[in-house]
Structure 1
């Protein structure tokens, strides 16, 4: 299928690239289908709304930048997504004009079920993680102190 994207114009996409978010993504609740588009030779991907070409989120594997990043998923989330052993965790990245000030949202990771193509952004309650940790801080751990200033 051909999809209209904000970054690449019309792109050929495969069904296995499409993920269904039953509740949308906070701030984009009316958008329930997104295409995951990997960027070649980069640790990033775009999460592109199927419904609206201008809605596109940059995501990455948080463990690349924060190897000690960890959290527990609630049983409710595991059941809702029918999670088995085949899933991905990604976090939304906000690029800044000064790239060194770009941030990653470790407080609300996105969980992707690779088997049934469902996904959900999970807000980590009782967590010291922030929604704006510096992406390139020079630190190689996920210390909650590693966050962007207000």
Structure 2
């Protein structure tokens, strides 16, 4: 499948790689399908690219690379919606707000993206954790 992207031009991806967001992403409820693409080779940063809207792409990363103590429990509705049967199926990503200079870049720890790697179902969840905000500096 050919996919027009914001950062990579046109790329050929396998449809089996498409993440399905049944309810969309908050603020983009009509956007139901995204591909995860590397930002660049050997980078910890990825691009969450809309399959429908080439201009819509988010820079994401694993929060555990920058926040070693980051943890939360998923509610039963999310576990059921994503058909999670084992914790090993789960990948967590957070959306970054990239700033110039890069040292000012922040991560949204309050609303991680949870992906079932087996079913490719995904959801951005909103946490009610007092320690997690929408803007955490990734440079400590």
TM-score, reference length from structure 2: 0.94
1:3 aligns with 2:9: no
Q: Give the superposed CA RMSD.
A: 1.0
Equivalent pair of 1:106/1:130 in contact (CA under 8 Å): yes
Quote how far apart the aligned CAs of 1:44 are: 1.0
Q: How do residues 16-27 of structure 1 correspond to structure 2 at under 5 angstroms? A: 16-27=16-27
What is the distance in 2 between the residues matched to 1:18 and 1:35? 5
1:45-84 equivalence runs, <5 A: 45-84=46-85
CA contact (8 A) 1:17 1:37 kept: no
Residue 127 of structure 1, aligned match among 126, 130, 137: 130
Task: Note the alpha carbon deviations across 1:10-66, whole angstroms, 9 max, x for none.
Answer: 001112320010111111111000011123200011010011000000100000001
Calculate the TM-score normalised by the size of structure 1: 0.88
The DSSP-based 3-state class of the residue aligned with 1:100 is helix
Contact 1:106 1:132 in 2 (8 A): yes
**Map of 1:102 onto structure 2:** 105
CA contact (8 A) 2:35 2:50 kept: yes
What is the count of residue pairs matched by the alignment?
137
Give, in angstroms, the shift of residue 110 of structure 1. Answer: 0.3
State which of 95, 116, 130 in structure 1 corresponds to 2:119: 116
Q: Which runs of 5+ in 1 are unaligned?
A: 138-150
